[in-house]
Amino acid sequence: MLNLNYEPEVFVDDITKITEEEWQEHRRSGIGGSDVACIYRVSPWKTANELYHEKMGHQPVVEEERNWVSLEIGHRLEELVVQIFMKKTGLKPYAVRKMFRHPLYPFMVGDIDFFVEKDGEIWVLECKTSFSFNKEEWANDSIPYHYMLQGMHYMSVTNVAGVIFLCLYGNSENTFFIRTLTRDLELEEEMIELERDFWVNNVQADHEPEFYEEPDLVLEAIKKYRKIEPGKTIVLPGELEDVMKKYVQLDAKRAELESQARKVKEQIKEIYIPVQKALGQAEGGELNTGNIIYRVGYTKRVTTAINKAELEKLKLTYPDVYQEYAKTNVSNIFYIKKEEKPA
């Protein structure tokens, strides 16, 4: 049974007066709201293993390219999102730029966007921005699961009645979601236990979590903290033999399917040759067969590129410009090869 007789501790009085580095250092002292989805293995952006490395203060070997534009849009639109909420509800949110810590579970921390008083109770107000193609995540009064976990964490840290999520996904007040989440103490107790387990058995014990997330997310996480030593070769454990066999089989199947796909593409090209000849100089055409109309034509696509010869010319003629804007990427391409030993 959870003890609800507490007030959150304030351990950073004003987050607007600290540097980004100081803010990150404070975040490393506990688990924040956006970290919870990683612990549950449902974060779209980060694995539990990456979260462990961050809390341990390990610097990534490969720096991830942050989508600073998306982050800046979210930050700058916060005030607008709140204004829309105020217009729609008449409620008046207020910002408290502090970082809070749970007094009973000090590994739980959080800084909150806004608070609002509703029906005599204090609620957390969480502002989100999204794109229209993501609006299905909010359909039918739902809340994306990773955001729901974030809200549960904030409710627990601050001991408030609930969270109101605001999401602006377009350029008008009609493209705006308002969702409410109230406390479920049974789920909250489960969440606290999972957070405690991660903090004690992974962070404090300096023990890396295993990977259970989607393959692309896992591979990016491995690359982020992997420092390859050129020329170093090791003997791999024998239990990986089945993995190697499966990889070789699937890779052969992939090559076969790609070969089939190339042949199908060639067949498609052969088939539409007479259609293009019949189209002549026209940009589009149609064939009406009664209850079906086939429409054909050209869709203009404009791309900007520099071919290799022009790039070499730029390098020779304007080396300073080339050095400033040309970017050389070095990547390590993973492979598994099967070799038969000589008899």
Q: What is the dihedral of CA 199, 203, 208, 213, to 10 degrees?
A: 40
163: left (phi over 0), alpha (psi -120 to 50) or beta: beta
Give the span between the Cα atoms of 199 and 233, in whole angstroms: 34
Tracing tokens 């692309």 back to the chain, one arrives at: 216
- Residue 170's pLDDT is 79
For 119, the token pair is: 């029906």
Tracing tokens 């070769």 back to the chain, one arrives at: 233
Its pTM surpasses 0.85? no
Query: Can you name the residues that pair with 101 across neighbouring β-strands?
Result: 9, 109
- Residue 298's pLDDT is 87
Identify the band that residue 336 occupies on the pLDDT scale cut at 50, 70 and 90.
low
Give the span between the Cα atoms of 204 and 107, in whole angstroms: 11
Helix (H) or strand (E) holding 89: helix 78-89
Give the span between the Cα atoms of 146 and 40, in whole angstroms: 9
Q: Where are the domains of the chain?
A: 9-224, 240-325
Give the span between the Cα atoms of 63 and 258, in whole angstroms: 33
Of residues 71, 122, 80, 114, the one with CA closest to residue 94:
114
Q: What one-character DSSP code corresponds to residue 252? A: H
**Which residues of the chain form beta strands (DSSP E)?**
9-12, 99-101, 109-111, 114-118, 121-129, 162-168, 176-182, 284-288, 293-297
Q: What is the mean pLDDT of the chain?
A: 89
Tell whether the model's pLDDT for residue 275 goes beyond 70.
Answer: yes
- Could you read off the pLDDT of 11-54 as tens digits, one per residue? 999 998 999 899 999 999 999 999 999 999 999 999 999 999 99
- Could you read off the pLDDT of 86-135 as tens digits, one per residue? 999 999 999 988 999 999 999 999 999 899 999 999 999 999 887 766 77
Question: Residue 53 in 3-state DSSP?
Answer: helix
Highest mean pLDDT among 140-144, 181-185, 305-309, 326-330: 181-185
Of residues 87, 88, 178, the one with CA closest to residue 127:
178
- Residue 173's pLDDT is 78
CB atoms within 10 A of CB 91: 15
Rg of the chain in Å (alpha carbons): 27
Tell whether the model's pLDDT for residue 75 goes beyond 80.
Answer: no
- Residue 100's pLDDT is 96
- Residue 12's pLDDT is 93
CATH for 9-224, among 3.90.320.10, 3.30.420.40, 3.40.640.10, 3.40.50.720?
3.90.320.10
First to last CA, the chain: 68
- Residue 319's pLDDT is 84
